[in-house]
Amino acid sequence: MKRSILIFACALTGFSVILTALLIHLAAYWNFSERFKQEAAVELDYLRAAIELAGIEYLESLRPDAFDPRVSLIADDGVVLYDSAGVVSDMENHANRPEVKAAMENGSGESTRFSETMREQTYYLATRLRNGSVLRIAGTTDSVFASLGWMILLTLAIIAAVFCIAAWISTFAARRIVAPINRLNLELPEDNAAYKELSPLLAGIKRQNDRIAAQIAEMRKKQLEFSAVAENMREGLIVLDGEARILSCNQSALNLLHTRPAGFENVLTLRRDEPFRRAVEQALGGASAESMLFAEGRHIQLIANPITDGGEIQGAVLMLLDVTEREDREKLRREFSANVSHELKTPLTAISGYAEILSNGVAKEEDAPRFAKNIYAEAQRLIALVNDIMLLSKLDEGGPELPKERIDLFAQTEDAVQRIQGAAAKRNIDVAFEGESAEIIGIRRVLDEMLQNLLDNAVKYNVDGGFIRVSVVKADDGVTFAVADTGIGIPREDQERVFERFYQTEKSRNKAAGGTGLGLSIVKHGALLHEAKIKLHSAESRGTRIEILFPAAP
Partner 1 sequence: MRDSYKKQLEALHVSLIRMGAFCEEAIANAVKGLLDEDKGLAADVAQTEKDINLMEREIETFCLRLLLREQPVAGDLRQITAAQRIIADMERIGDQALDIAELSAFMVGSPVKSDIRIGDMAQATVKMLSDSVDSFVGSDLAKARSVIEYDDVVDNLFYKVKDELIVLIAKDGKNGGACLDLLMIAKYLERIGDHAANIAEWVEYSVTGNRRRD
Closest contact distance (angstroms) between CB of 244 and partner 1 is 7
Q: Helices (DSSP H) in 361-498: which residue ranges? A: 368-396, 409-426, 444-460
Q: Is 17 or 295 the residue whose CB approaches partner 1 more closely? A: 295
Span of 57-65, 188-196, 201-209, 272-280 interacting with partner 1 by CB under 8 A? 272-280
Q: Smallest distance, Å, CB 285 to partner 1?
A: 16
Report the C-alpha gap between 435 and 469 in whole angstroms. 11
Is residue 163 within 8 A of residue 14, CB to CB? The reply is: yes
536 binds partner 1 (CB under 8 A): no
Least separation in angstroms between CB 264 and partner 1:
6
Instruction: Name which of 318 and 520 has its Cβ closer to partner 1.
Output: 318
Cβ 251 to partner 1 shortest distance, Å? 18
Residue 70: in which H helix or E strand, if any? strand 70-74
Q: Is 187 in the site for partner 1 (CB under 8 A)?
A: no
Query: Pairing between strand 467-475 and 430-435?
Result: parallel
Please report how close the Cβ of residue 245 comes to partner 1 at its closest, in angstroms.
Answer: 8
Residues contacting 475, CB < 8 A, separation 6+: 549
Looking only at residues 47 through 66 of this chain, which bind partner 1 when binding is defined by CB under 8 A?
none
CA 475 to chain centre: 62
Closest Cα partner for 245 from 226, 259, 262?
262
Q: CB of 292: closest distance to partner 1 in angstroms?
A: 16
Question: Is 268 one of the binding residues for partner 1 (CB under 8 A)?
Answer: yes
Query: What span, in angstroms and rounded, lies between the C-alpha atoms of 226 and 116?
Result: 94
Tell how far CA 536 is from the center of its chain.
56
DSSP labels, 360-401: HT-S-GGGHHHHHHHHHHHHHHHHHHHHHHHHHHHHHTT-TT
Alpha-carbon gap, residue 468 to 473, rounded angstroms: 16
The CB-of-296 to partner 1 minimum distance in angstroms stands at 13
Question: Binder to partner 1 among 108, 269, 314, 387 (CB under 8 A)?
Answer: 269
Q: How far is the CB of 242 from partner 1 (least distance, A)?
A: 12
| CB closer to partner 1 out of 205 and 300 | 300
- How many chain residues touch partner 1 (CB under 8 A)? 11
**With respect to partner 1, which residue has the nearer C-beta, 205 or 279?**
279
315: alpha, beta or left, given left = phi > 0 and alpha = psi -120 to 50?
A: left
Shortest spacing between CB 178 and partner 1, in angstroms? 31
Give the C-alpha separation, 252 to 238, whole Å. 10
Does 273 bind partner 1 (CB under 8 A)? Our answer is yes
Instruction: State the minimum distance, in angstroms, from the CB of residue 305 to partner 1.
Output: 21
Nearer to partner 1, 70 or 277 (CB): 277
Q: Is 287 in the site for partner 1 (CB under 8 A)?
A: no
Q: Which stretch binds partner 1 (CB under 8 A): 162-170, 268-276, 314-322, 483-491?
A: 268-276
Tell me which residue of 112, 105, 94 sits closest to 128, measured CA to CA.
Answer: 105
Of 187, 274, 309, 312, which lies in the binding site for partner 1, with binding defined by CB under 8 A?
Answer: 274
Alpha-carbon span 455 to 440, nearest angstrom: 19
Burial (0-12, 13-18, 19+ Cβ within 10 Å), 125:
buried
What residues form DSSP beta bridges with 122? 113, 140
CB 140 within 8 A of CB 2: no
Contact call for residues 497 and 508 (beta carbons, < 8 A): no
Among 272, 329, 334, 444, binds partner 1 (CB under 8 A): 272
Measured from the CB atom, is 11 or 262 closer to partner 1? 262
**Contact region for partner 1 (CB under 8 A) — 21-29, 267-275, 303-311, 351-359?**
267-275
CA 339 to chain CA mean position, Å: 53
Between 271 and 525, CB nearer to partner 1: 271
Beta bridge partners of 312: 309
Quote the least distance from Cβ 513 to partner 1, whole Å.
37
Applying the rule CB under 8 A, the residues between 237 and 266 that interact with partner 1 are 244, 262-264, 266
Nearer to partner 1, 271 or 530 (CB): 271
Residue closer to partner 1 by CB (options 272, 333) is: 272
Question: Whole-number minimum distance, CB 331 to partner 1, in Å?
Answer: 20
User: How far apart are the C-alpha atoms of 10 and 15, rounded to whole Å?
Assistant: 8
Contacts (Cβ under 8 Å, ≥6 apart) of 34: none
Which of 37, 70, 277, 445 is close enough to bind partner 1 by CB under 8 A?
A: 277
Closer to partner 1 at the Cβ: 294 or 376?
Answer: 294
Shortest reach from residue 240's CB to partner 1, in Å:
12
Tell me which long-range contacts 550-553 makes (C-beta under 8 A, separation of at least 24).
550/409, 550/440, 550/442, 550/478, 550/479, 550/480, 550/481, 551/440, 551/441, 551/477, 551/478, 552/438, 552/439, 552/440, 552/474, 552/477, 552/478, 552/479, 553/406, 553/439, 553/440, 553/441
Q: Which stretch binds partner 1 (CB under 8 A): 115-123, 271-279, 403-411, 459-467?
A: 271-279
Minimum gap (Å) between residue 295 Cβ and partner 1: 13
- Of 35 and 272, which has the nearer Cβ to partner 1? 272
Nearer to partner 1, 277 or 533 (CB): 277
Residue 271 or residue 381: which is nearer to partner 1 going by CB?
271
Please identify, using beta-carbon distances, which residue of 277 and 404 lies nearer to partner 1: 277
In whole angstroms, how far apart are CA 2 and each of 5, 168, 498? 5, 10, 92
Q: Rounded to an integer, what distance in angstroms lies between the CA atom of residue 37 and that of residue 43? A: 10
Binding site for partner 1 (CB under 8 A): 244, 262-264, 266, 268-269, 272-274, 277
